[in-house]
Chains A and B, each alone.
Chain A
Amino acid sequence: MFPFSFEWIWDMGHVVFMGGLWYALTILGIGMTYCIIKSAIDASRGNDEHHH
């Protein structure tokens, strides 16, 4: 899973597979971080103009 696991090899399989995995995880992580930070800012500003 990580390059420091002893069975890790820098080969095509690992790069493609783990690349895809970390890519997806990064997007999810950044997306959620953005939502949480923006919500905290919105809430602290008392910003309530939108309605869904």
Chain B
Amino acid sequence: MDSALIPRGVKRCPFPQFILFVAIVGAVLLWGVYAMLLCWFKGLNQTNMNDAYGFALWIWADLAVIAVGGGAFFTGLLRYIFGKDDLKNIINYAVLIGFICYSSALLILAIDIGQPLRGWFIFWHANVHSMLTEVAFCLSCYFGVLTIEYIPLILENRQIDRVPFFHHLGHNMHETMAVFAATGAFLSFFHQGSLGGVAGVLFGRPFAFREGILIWPWTFFLFTWSAAACGPCFTILITKITETVTRKKLVKDSAIELLAKISGWMLLTYSIAKTADTWYWATVTAPSMGQTLMDFYSNNPLYGIWILILEIAICGFVPAFILITKKGRKNSLALWIAITLATIGVCINRWVMVLQVMAVPVLTFESWFMYFPSWQEIATTILPVAYGVILIAISYRYLPVFPNEPELNPMETLPAQETEKEEAVEPSVDLEQELKPAEA
């Protein structure tokens, strides 16, 4: 039915199956959209946030998707600036995942603010001293970069590519990509960092506050570092999930292993830096404000010292050691464990730097503030996941996201060179071969 749109030389599931899948995920998406509309029309009273918990699930989701979306800028940096050519096999997918993450972040921000129609004030009346201003500017600009990086992929769709202008545009954008990627890396460095700065500058909150260099608290650098370390792990994770779901090998091992290796070293150095930061904060910064480490990890139902150990040791050092060893990278199970742990680790870090900051009491006569999100908050947080799954499904079906796919999965009945005949591309119905696209 839609065979004319499917890239040459690859096999896709039957159209009704694809539509069914999109419809199921679409139902989840609609649930999220409903919750989003409730928040917009009725206000943030639809959430379980309160005056002690002004930052909650959404801000965490925002920080988390941007952290894991960091794979796009870091892979782009390695591919276009440092010339790691092997990564060309995974860069498209890294860009797509980044695009989903950043558009989700912008959407969540648009739901999160109390007066969405005034959202443009952050640009127009910018306070250049606020970390959040820096976040807004760099995030929006970088989303522009990701769009620019995603467009050539869209233009490679078989039908679009037939239009001469689009064909040339895709080619020319590819040629100029290094410039865009460099700009993207510049913007990413600052917005990943300023997201860390958002918590680090809160000198009224000893749990979050960090010293630093000039205007930048240590969290500024730690956030950029962890995004560069864990973002590629998330890219690999989603690639692996896509491969599992489609039951195909989509990216060459060499690309995965190279990215995993670089990621591993980034993660190891990050974990060491994070440990040093935590040590200094626990022994110098917090005591200077009259608080000890255990003040932040006791007398409450959730936040025990386990969360610190889980974040730094189990989700930091463990995956780092797996990824820096050749054996670890080559072992499929070990690789799965490492990339999953790294992704969880960076999400825990963002959780702690948002949710726990709000929970810890500062005034001596107050106690811990605990919070559980309302269904509207949960639905609007799942919304971007559903949107991501659908966008991946559509992109995977109609765009040559994985340049290695035809080579890694030769089609027995239809050799790639014969596909000049459009009608011949109707894929054979093979449920075993191609079930559904991946989850984000």
**Chain A residues in contact with chain B, CB under 8 A?**
1, 5, 7, 13-14, 17-18, 20-21, 24-25, 27-28, 31-32, 34-36, 38-40, 42-43, 46-48, 50, 52
Contact = CB atoms under 8 A, between A and B. Distances in A.
Given A20-B190, A28-B144, A35-B176, A1 B168 contact: no
B180 A31 contact: yes
A32 B172 CA distance: 9
B169 A35 contact: yes
A36 to B, nearest CB: 7
A28 B180 contact: yes
A29 to B, nearest CB: 10
Contacts of B137: 17, 21
B180 A36 contact: no
B172 A18 contact: no
Given A5-B124, A13-B128, A14-B128, A31 B179 contact: yes
A43 B180 contact: no
Interface string B180-193: 10010011001000
A27 B149 CA distance: 14
B141 A21 contact: yes
9 contacts: A1-B125, A13-B129, A17-B134, A18-B128, A21-B137, A28-B183, A31-B183, A39-B168, A48-B167
A35 B128 CA distance: 32
B165 interface: yes
Interface string B156-173: 000000001111110111
Contact of A52 (B128, B174, B180, B183): B174
Contacts of A38: 168, 172
B279 interface: no
Contacts of B166: 39
Interface residues of B, number: 30
A27 to B, nearest CB: 5
Contacts of A20: 190
B28 interface: no
B233 to A, nearest CB: 27
Given A27-B183, A28-B148, A42-B171, 18 more contacts: A1-B124, A5-B124, A17-B133, A21-B141, A24-B186, A28-B141, A28-B180, A31-B183, A35-B176, A39-B165, A40-B168, A42-B164, A42-B168, A43-B164, A43-B168, A47-B168, A48-B164, A48-B167
A24 B164 contact: no
B123 A24 contact: no
Grouping DSSP codes into helix (H, G, I), strand (E, B) and loop, the A interface class, with mixed when no group exceeds half, is: helix
Given A17-B128, A27-B179, A28-B141, A52 B171 contact: yes
Contacts of B141: 21, 24-25, 28
Contacts of B126: 1, 17-18
A18 B126 CA distance: 10
Nearest to A14: B128
B91 interface: no
Nearest to A36: B169
Given A13-B129, A17-B134, A28-B145, A42 B183 contact: no
Nearest to B187: A24
B10 to A, nearest CB: 17
Nearest to B163: A43
A6 to B, nearest CB: 9
A37 B187 CA distance: 25
Given A1-B124, A24-B187, A39 B172 contact: yes
Interface in B186-232: 186-187, 190
